[in-house]
Amino acid sequence: MQKTAICMLATAIAVIINVSVVTGAAPTSGPSDKALLGAVMFPKIALAAKDPAAIIIEPNDATAERFVLKWRNDLIKTGFCVFLTKAPKKGWTAADGLKLIKEFDEKVVKGNAGKLPAMRRKVDARRILLISPRQGGPASIAIIEKHPERVAGAVLVAVSPWVHSTDTIKLWRPSKAAWKVPIWAAMPVDIQTGSPTLLLWRKLSSDKPAGAMLTIDPRIQHGDTEPDDSIDKWISAVAGGKTPPIGPDSLVVRETKRYQGSAKSLMAAMQTTRAADAGMRFSKIEGPMEMDITAPAKWKRAERGERKYDPINRAYVQIYVSPKPGGLLFARANAAKWGGEATGLLDQYEQRLKDGGYQLIRYARWNSKGYALQITSVLWPSKGKWHRWLVLVAAGPGKAKAPAAPLVTVMDASDTPDTNAMAAAMKRILPGVSVVWKGEPAKKTVTRRN
């Protein structure tokens, strides 16, 4: 799948393809020598015998006062006992996060339950809500990983989901226990500055386990980074000791509204539109497979849009055709190395897109004449703009001893997709596609001479 990006995405893409990158500014030092926990503020009305706790990780920049005031006031009104912090001058580290919890325990009375010194309220030390700005990412992620049973919820504002080691940064891969922590990840999606963080969160969510309570909250208004009122119910649930609901993903909502009418039209077109007239026949052999397709009339092959066979990362042969090379309507036919059922090949196609950070929305999936078909929309930020497609994809089954299967995608990137043209193209390409398994090349043996 496509994994390109502008220079500003270099670090993010390196993480996306699981490559460690050297970063001289990675905060990897030990914890700050100074105390990290600051003042404590109490709600006016207690929700229960013990107040839920909220720790606000203070930004170490000019936004600190506004960030702390905004969250402090809202949380006190909701019923939290709010613990403020003091940002380390050198920036928050994972070690600082662990030190912060240690100081919290010492203040609240380790193991909990007791009264805070000179305080009127009891605090539930095992029900903590974390509020973290971008700078607090390493500390907040460390707390979630090391003390998941203590974290009732985490609001991560513009936090990039990566972890730091001695000289590298890597995409955060939450442990099984950490995935049980309800997380609300809000980030700006300004195409120049916010999209790297969004891509990382989408990639992280691509392999989340069933039941994971992750909310991805892209802030689509210019300059907007913090959650809107949609988070209120989520925070109230945490305060009440309940499992919070997963919040709305504004980009998914917007893209669904954009494409649901076209998806419905495309589904209908697949029932009524006749196949396009036959055009040129194309053939290609790479690796262990050979593929032949018949393109629609007046469609041409555009080899620059094809990807070379790679037995590890791209074990497929690909032919790219379009009525206008470089245009908005095009199709890719793949001879995929696949020995299972057709629906499994569609699942793999979806997973590869998600692993690349693509936003994927499925509208329909059905079976017809031995093929599994699907209608999907895809959104991807790259080269300073958003790229979006309506995709009609069809997959055929493979065989265990001859693992080759067709995967045909017809895509339209226009604002108003031509669903009749998409359906006609698929109906022409699919019946004429031919995939042959030629077998892996024999391994050369070397005979040693004495």
| Tens-digit pLDDT profile for residues 167-208 | 788 999 999 999 999 999 999 887 776 788 899 999 999 989
* pLDDT value of position 23: 30
Tell me which residue of 83, 93, 86 sits closest to 60, measured CA to CA: 86
* pLDDT value of position 118: 42
Tell me which residue of 359, 411, 365 sits closest to 386, measured CA to CA: 359
Q: Give 381's pLDDT tier (boundaries 50, 70, 90).
A: confident
- What proportion of the chain, given as a percentage, has pLDDT over 70? 86
pTM, whole model, 2 decimals? 0.85
Mean pLDDT of 131-144: 96
* pLDDT value of position 384: 77
Longest dimension (CA), the chain: 89
* pLDDT value of position 28: 54
> Which of 9-13, 294-298, 441-445 is least confident?
9-13
Q: Give 383's pLDDT tier (boundaries 50, 70, 90).
A: confident
Distance, CA of 417 to CA of 215 (rounded, Å): 30
Distance, CA of 73 to CA of 190 (rounded, Å): 28
pLDDT in tens, 64-87: 999 999 999 999 999 999 999 999
Tell the CATH topology of 253-437: Protein Transport Mog1p; Chain A (3.40.1000)
Mean pLDDT of 414-442: 93
Q: Is the pLDDT of residue 436 over 70?
A: yes
Q: What residue spans in the chain does CATH classification 3.40.50.1820 cover?
A: 8-247
* pLDDT value of position 314: 84
Q: What residue spans in the chain does CATH classification 3.40.1000.10 cover?
A: 253-437
Q: Is the pLDDT of residue 119 over 60?
A: no
* pLDDT value of position 48: 67
Q: Is the pLDDT of residue 27 over 80?
A: no
* pLDDT value of position 16: 32
Mean pLDDT of 363-376: 96
- Beta-carbon contacts of 214 under 8 Å, excluding residues fewer than 6 positions away, are 183, 185, 205, 208, 246
Distance, CA of 216 to CA of 437 (rounded, Å): 42
Mean pLDDT of 243-255: 95
Q: Are 389 and 404 in contact (CB under 8 A)?
A: no
Mean pLDDT of 52-60: 95
pLDDT in tens, 201-232: 999 999 899 999 999 999 887 667 889 899 99
Mean pLDDT of 414-441: 94
Q: Is the pLDDT of residue 10 over 60?
A: no
Q: Is the pLDDT of residue 51 over 50?
A: yes
> What average pLDDT is seen over the chain?
87
Distance, CA of 64 to CA of 66 (rounded, Å): 6
Q: Give 139's pLDDT tier (boundaries 50, 70, 90).
A: very high
* pLDDT value of position 130: 98
Q: Are 361 and 376 in contact (CB under 8 A)?
A: yes
Mean pLDDT of 237-262: 95
Distance, CA of 343 to CA of 221 (rounded, Å): 38
* pLDDT value of position 354: 94
More confident residue, 108 or 334: 334
More confident residue, 48 or 59: 59
* pLDDT value of position 8: 30
* pLDDT value of position 223: 65
Tell me which residue of 382, 374, 411, 363 sits closest to 252, measured CA to CA: 363
Task: Using CB atoms within 10 Å of the CB of residue 84, give its burial: 0 to 12 exposed, 13 to 18 middle, 19+ buried.
Answer: middle
Q: Classify 8-247 by CATH class.
A: alpha beta
